[in-house]
């Protein structure tokens, strides 16, 4: 009886439809549940490039000094003629030690400095300080690739060249400092490419 077959088939389809309806109802409930977790996000504005002082503070995290146990505070030395914004360093700490800034006059010893921030220093003062800090555990940070060829350890790119920095491994090794892998990866990538 073909007619009976059709009836059975039609009613089976109806049952399948019920099945699908149940699933659809479930799906809708899931949508409602999901929509409660819809998120709201803050501004999408792009972050401004980091200032040199920010880099210097960051390097305190990724470089290791030979006798860190004896270091009570991070001494960041800035030549007298530098235009660097040293106010950034005020009140900062790194790895549990406070950060302090010292301005260096001509001829001042650099022995107790952990970092020489030469990013905005007059060229003459920068060269002189670089020479006196040579082979000492003092992280020298300058601007422009020429700084590294002149014996500096870390040279930040000039704002015109984009962000980032390079690390001179030779200078770092001579100063008996240790650079962490992360900072080396960042630096080498910049320098290498």
Interface residues with another protein (CB under 8 A) are 1, 3-4, 7-8, 11-12, 15-16, 18-19, 22-23, 25-27, 30-31, 33-35, 37-39, 41-50, 54-55, 58, 61-62, 93-96, 163-165, 182-183, 185-186, 189
CB of 101 to another protein, least distance (A): 19
Q: At what angle do helices 52-62 and 181-192 cross, to 10 degrees?
A: 130
Region class of 107: left (phi > 0), else alpha (psi between -120 and 50), else beta: left
As a whole number of angstroms, the distance between CA 117 and CA 54 comes to 11
CB of 121 to another protein, least distance (A): 21
CB of 129 to another protein, least distance (A): 23
Q: SS3 of 160, please?
A: helix
Q: Which is nearer to another protein, 43 or 109 (CB)?
A: 43
Q: Which is nearer to another protein, 71 or 94 (CB)?
A: 94
**Phi and psi at residue 83, in whole multiples of 5°?**
-100, 15
Q: Which is nearer to another protein, 5 or 109 (CB)?
A: 5
- Tokens standing for residue 124: 């003459």
């Amino acid at each position: 009886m073909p007619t009976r077959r059709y009836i059975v088939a039609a009613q089976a389809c109806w049952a399948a439809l019920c099945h699908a309806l149940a699933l659809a109802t479930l799906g809708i409930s899931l949508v409602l549940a999901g929509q409660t977790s819809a998120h709201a996000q803050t501004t999408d504005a792009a972050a401004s490039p980091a200032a040199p002082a920010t880099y210097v503070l960051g390097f305190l995290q990724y470089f290791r000094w030979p006798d860190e146990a004896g270091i009570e505070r991070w001494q960041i030395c800035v030549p007298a003629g530098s235009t660097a914004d040293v106010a950034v360093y005020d009140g900062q700490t790194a790895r549990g030690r406070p950060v302090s800034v010292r301005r260096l006059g001509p001829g001042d010893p650099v022995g107790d400095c952990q970092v020489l921030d030469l990013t905005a220093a007059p060229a003459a003062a920068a060269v002189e300080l670089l020479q006196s800090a040579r082979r000492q555990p003092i992280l020298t940070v300058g601007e422009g690739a020429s700084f590294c060829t002149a014996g500096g350890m870390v040279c930040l790119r000039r704002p015109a060249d984009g962000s980032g920095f390079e690390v001179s491994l030779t200078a770092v090794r001579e100063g008996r400092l240790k650079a962490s892998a992360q900072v080396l990866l960042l630096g080498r990538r910049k320098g290498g490419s």
